[in-house]
């Protein structure tokens, strides 16, 4: 996971550097194109608008590296963790009804060892809980219940791993944006103090930095919040499924012990 974070952070830095180089080259290219057109005395129509990615790049650079880059890094790392959690939850899902039916069939036909082997070879938290319960069948049903409850908590903790970082990035992104806003407003007042005038052109730069960093932080937080809530909903659904199937396991072993 740490290696993934480092790679993504390096990618973010490379991304910004490439955009900065493109932004520096853009004015020179425009001047060269204007000179060619003037020499050829050819009248051409200007494009209706610039590409979206170029416009976003310009706004990103106008917001200032000092505040926009940390917000972008928070967004990239938060998305990386969120996607990893979504993939983990997706691969952990199985057809629980079919799984429970197969375990019950093996238990009745071939015994505990066959059911245990089937659970060992099946992915997901439900199969892990069943395996831990079957491991302690010889110790009695009370030990099985304790194992199921304890290992259910362990599986829930594994599913929630990394979400605290996403929560941190959700809180940190708008905070960095607001900090950039404060810095931009201070810059605007400093410009007013130096020029001794209230001309809009004097304070426009500082106010622009303030607004761009704020909106970038809010956008980052909103995106991560959607992923965070989606992951929580999947975890809650899986926890309910684990509790339901755990009851089925206890009932199953209770019936098996009375044979």
Query: What's the whole-number mean pLDDT along residues 44-52?
Result: 50
How many other CB atoms sit within 10 Å of the CB of residue 40? 9
Looking at residues 115-141, what average pLDDT do you find?
Answer: 89
Mean pLDDT, to the nearest integer, of 77-97? 91
**What is d(CA 20, CA 145) in angstroms, rounded to the nearest whole number?**
60
pLDDT tens per residue, range 153-181: 899 899 998 999 999 999 999 888 888 77
Q: Are 242 and 125 in contact (CB under 8 A)?
A: yes
Q: What is the pLDDT of residues 213-227, one digit of tens each?
A: 888 889 899 999 999
Mean pLDDT score, 93-118: 89
Average pLDDT, stretch 12-35?
Answer: 44
Pick the range with the lowest mean pLDDT from 44-58, 158-172, 207-221, 234-248.
Answer: 44-58
Could you tell me the pTM of the whole model?
Answer: 0.71
Q: What is the dihedral of CA 99, 104, 105, 111, to 10 degrees?
A: 120
């Amino acid at each position: 996971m740490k290696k993934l974070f480092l790679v993504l952070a390096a990618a973010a830095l490379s991304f910004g550097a490439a955009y900065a180089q493109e932004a520096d080259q853009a004015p020179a290219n425009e001047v060269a194109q204007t000179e060619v057109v003037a020499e050829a005395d050819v009248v051409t129509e200007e494009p209706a608008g610039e590409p979206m990615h170029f416009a976003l790049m310009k706004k990103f650079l106008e917001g200032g590296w000092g505040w926009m880059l940390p917000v972008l890094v928070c967004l990239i790392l938060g998305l990386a963790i969120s996607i990893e959690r979504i993939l983990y939850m997706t691969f952990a899902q199985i057809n629980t009804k079919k799984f429970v039916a197969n375990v019950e069939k093996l238990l009745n036909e071939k015994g505990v060892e066959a059911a245990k082997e089937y659970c060992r070879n099946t992915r997901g938290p439900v199969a892990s809980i069943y395996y831990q319960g079957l491991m302690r069948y010889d110790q009695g049903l009370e030990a099985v219940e304790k194992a199921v409850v304890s290992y259910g908590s362990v599986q829930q903790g594994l599913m929630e791993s990394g979400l605290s970082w996403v929560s941190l990035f959700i809180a940190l992104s708008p905070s960095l944006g607001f900090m950039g806003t404060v810095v931009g407003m201070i810059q605007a007042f400093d410009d007013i103090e130096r020029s001794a005038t209230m001309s809009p052109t004097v304070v426009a730069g500082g106010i622009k930095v303030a607004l761009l960093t704020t909106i970038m932080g809010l956008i980052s937080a909103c995106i991560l919040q959607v992923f965070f809530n989606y992951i929580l909903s999947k975890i809650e659904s899986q926890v309910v499924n684990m509790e339901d199937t755990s009851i089925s396991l206890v009932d199953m072993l209770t019936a098996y012990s009375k044979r």
